[in-house]
A = this chain, B = another copy of it.
Amino acid sequence: MIKKILIANRGEIALRVIRTCQALGIKTVAVYSDEDYGSMHVKKATEAYHIGEAAPAKSYLNQEKIVEVALASGADAIHPGYGFLSENSDFANLCAKNKIKFIGPSGKSMQLCGDKMKCKDAMAKAKVPTVPGSPDLVKDSDEALDIANKIGYPVLLKSVFGGGGRGIRLVKNDKDLKEAFEIATGESMAAFGKSALLVEKFLPKIRHIEFQLARDKHGNAVHIFERECSIQRRHQKLIEMSPSPVVDQKTRDKIGQLAVNTAIAVDYTNLGTAEFLRLDDGSFYFIEINARLQVEHPVTELVSGLDLVKLQIDIANGEEIPFKQKDLAVNGCAIECRINAEDTFLDFAPSTGPVSDVTIPAGPGIRVDTYLYPGCTVSSFYDSLMAKLITWGQNFEESRTRMLNALSDFYVQGVETSIPLYKTILQTKEFREGNLSTDFLERFNVLDKLKSDIKKDTIEKQDVALAAAALYSTYYSSRIKTTPEISMHWKSKLDRA
């Protein structure tokens, strides 16, 4: 039985894990970098150890140091959170070598999940549909043509040396494919000395729908419904929800079973997520397994009533999952907005610095997972996720309305946030109707809508601003005082400079 867990992470997810440990009476060990002295996870853990400099490579990615702290503090397990070392099979193996339980899948399974081609191969054997395309590298343009004709145009010609959109060509017919193949091969030979190209079907308008998985060491496996994560920017999820507006119970049962099969196919244990693309025709294609707890796991918690971190710990302890698939039913609707420190109008560039004031919304159906507190700092060394605002409602509309109200109550002073963007998105007709896709922001010109919303807000509040200014001018010039306890200090950047 796990009695003490080192959390090899920071920010909201470290706090999330601590919260469950507290509820279970499990001790926690926090680790922190130079940047995180004053961070909440240091304060909330049973113990906290300094592990190095601000740069992740010198602290949160320092495998040896983290294992050293785990051993020194007597932790018998490590929870990796998400990001950092969470999907690093070497680290999972290092933990195993030091007889520390790694709360996640085995290193072997994790490695298989991380290797796209091997994973695709395993899925083919398990009869899980993946995005149609070449089963392996294509050796020449004839093979590419052959495959393209089999799966149908348009197709993507992808270099395995690419990544993040680079080295990908959209091709619409045989002639273009032939030409593109020559150019891509030439480029690749010049740059890498070898060519490695894949053909994959181009999917024009897609939804990102994923299934929460759990599988224990005894082979029991369930899915805990889907999450729709189609609202994205630059392939980063912004808003997630469960259930998906396009998944009915029949689809849930069918694709959920497929998702369970993916876990079995790679001998996956603990919690994971099977990600799928869904086309408008209702077809689903498996993309990958995320071998860890997801950022968006709270939406699943709110509609299932489960504590997923507890489930992770139970499975790591070798226990059986304490329920069957048939015991699970979706209760209401949950939506999550990732409150990022970023400037929407600067191409979502990170916005960092000290946060002098914070108001965190609260109330029925509102959950906030965050590391923010007044006086904290949003560091430039780590990711821009400051908080996750999650609302639950009996149905989508109740959840959405609660989210809109909660977004209005959420205030972070000192950094730019994605809050205004979410208010605009949630109010669009398309979002309300569940008309989602990964290109939602571009397809519906959401940034233009945001600009106009901001102007509308300004106009709505102009009289109030003017009253505040008039009050200020009067106070400042004549210093009217009505009651002695009222005092006012005017902040001014000039004064402080």
Closest to A373 in B: B359
Tell me the A residues contacting B by CB distance below 8 Å: 19, 22-25, 298, 301, 305-307, 331-332, 360, 362-364, 367-369, 394, 398, 401-402, 405
Min CB distance A106 to B, Å, is 28
Please determine whether A394 and B305 come into contact, CB atoms closer than 8 angstroms: yes
What secondary structure prevails in chain A residues at the interface with B?
A: mixed
Known: A23-B398, A23-B405. A307 touches B364 (CB 8 A): yes
A293 shortest CB reach to chain B, Å: 14
Whether A362 and B364, one on each chain, are in contact in the complex, defined by CB atoms closer than 8 angstroms, is no
Q: How many copies does the complex hold?
A: 2
A301 and B364 form a contact (CB under 8 A): yes
* Contact status of A402 and B23, CB under 8 A, knowing A306-B394, A331-B331: yes
User: How far apart are A242's CB and chain B's nearest CB, in angstroms?
Assistant: 15
Q: Which residues of B contact A301 (CB under 8 A)?
A: 364
Establish whether residues A364 and B331, one from each chain, have CB atoms under 8 Å apart when the complex forms.
no
From A304, which residue of chain B is reached at the shortest CB distance?
Answer: B394
Pairwise interchain contact B307-A331, C-beta atoms closer than 8 A: no
Complex: chain B residue closest to A398, CB-CB: B23
> A305: which B residues are within 8 A, CB to CB?
331-332, 394
Q: How far is the CA of A402 from the CA of B20 in the complex (A)?
A: 9
Closest chain B residue, CB of each to CB of A25: B401
Cα A402 to Cα B307 in complex, Å, equals: 12
Residues of B within 8 A of A398 (CB): 23, 307
Instruction: State the CA gap A24–B393 with chains docked (Å).
Output: 13
**Best-buried of A23, A25, A306, A405 by chain B (most CB within 10 Å):** A23
Most-contacted residue by chain B among A25, A301, A305 (CB, 10 A):
A305
7 additional A-B pairs beyond A19-B364, A364-B367, beta carbons within 8 Å, are A23-B405, A301-B364, A305-B394, A307-B394, A360-B362, A363-B367, A363-B369
Q: Say which residue of B22, B307, B368, B402 sits within 8 Å of A362 (CB atoms).
A: B368
